[in-house]
Amino acid sequence: MSGWMSAATRFTQTWVGAYTTGLSRQDREVRHEEINSDLWEHQYDRAADGAPAFVVALEVISRVLHGMPSDILWRFRMEGPKMEINIPLERLAGALLIALVVMLFVTASISGYDTGVEGFDAEMTRLANLSTLADNVNMVLRLVTGLGIIGAAAGFYVALQRRSQGLAALAGFGLVAAGVLALVAGALQVALVELAEQFVASSGTQQDQVLVTARSVALLVEATTGAAFITLLVSTYPLALLLGKEKLVPRWAIALPLAGGALMIGAGVVSTFSNEVGNMWLAMIGGGLCAVLWLVIAGLYLIFRPQPLALASEPVEQPASA
């Protein structure tokens, strides 16, 4: 089979896999087998006509694209009148893992002020000068992220509690805590923007008082953001254990969060006994990246892991004609 045709076949099979996800094994097998037969006949027939492989591949892709609306309607009919979407819980867990990566980055991006005594007034001026749109986007993003983390906690618990109630509850509890911390950090950030606006609008002693209060709030924003980020990272460990134990993701992948945890603990120890903070931050970032890498690998694996499809060996019975 040519590279063109392989790609077209792969595309077709991926689409069939996507829209038949969650149907009964028999329904999925019938549709897969019928489409595979069609692909083979199409390729064979057109090769006999002497059509170039890339033309046949384009024809196949065109047929897939033109049939997509009907595929979706067919899928809904198969689900019945309630149009209930029956997505395997493992794929839901995979999608949530990928969503967690995004949430991790949004959570981490909240911080970043120069809270040192020198130069904090410049930070306040910068914050006050942000446009209302930027402030609103920031606020909504943080609210959505905080609620999203809490929603992900519920999703993980529902998806995985049948496999290990203890680990699923532990991960869910950690994620709820991280979500609440992220929401608190977001609320404090809103307060900080208000204080920044008060700061530029005031002068003299009043301005100094606002600056002191704002600096305390900024330190709290940093602390809660850091806590949310670390709680979120730590919550990935019970997930990694659970998914590895249940062989839902390759077992070797658990080395990543373990290495990440070791790096972060090492960074904590170094920071306790040494004044050298450069290496500590490198170790912290390395630890975080290991966890993020695991989230990406595990998430993609769970989403795209092919579901075993044994080809139907018996003819499929159809309703008898009148």
Which residues form the interface with other proteins (CB under 8 A)? Answer: 12, 30-31, 33-38, 40-42, 44-45, 59, 62-74, 76-77, 312-316, 318-322
DSSP-derived 3-state class of residue 203: coil
Closest CB to other proteins among 77 and 126? 77
Least Å distance, CB 77 to other proteins, is 6
Sign of dihedral through CA atoms 296, 301, 261, 232?
positive
d(CA 258, CA 38): 47
CB 15 within 8 A of CB 61: no
Closest CB to other proteins among 133 and 322? 322
Closest CB to other proteins among 70 and 275? 70
Closest CB to other proteins among 68 and 147? 68
Distance from the Cα of residue 96 to its chain's centroid:
5
Least Å distance, CB 32 to other proteins, is 10
Sign of dihedral through CA atoms 311, 315, 319, 322?
positive
Q: What is the enclosing helix (H) or strand (E) of 162?
A: none
Least Å distance, CB 6 to other proteins, is 16
Closest CB to other proteins among 205 and 313? 313
What do you get for the CA distance between the two ends of the chain, in Å? 43
Closest CB to other proteins among 275 and 321? 321
CB 254 within 8 A of CB 244: yes
Least Å distance, CB 20 to other proteins, is 11
Closest CB to other proteins among 69 and 204? 69
Least Å distance, CB 39 to other proteins, is 8
Least Å distance, CB 320 to other proteins, is 7
Closest CB to other proteins among 38 and 208? 38
DSSP-derived 3-state class of residue 57: helix
Residues ≥6 apart with Cβ < 8 Å to 75? 19, 20, 23
Cβ neighbour number for residue 18 with a 10 Å cutoff: 11
Q: Residue-wise over 216-236: b if at least 16 C-beta within 10 A, else e? A: ebbebbbebbbbbbbbbbbbb
Tokens of 284: 């912290």
Least Å distance, CB 104 to other proteins, is 38
Least Å distance, CB 92 to other proteins, is 25
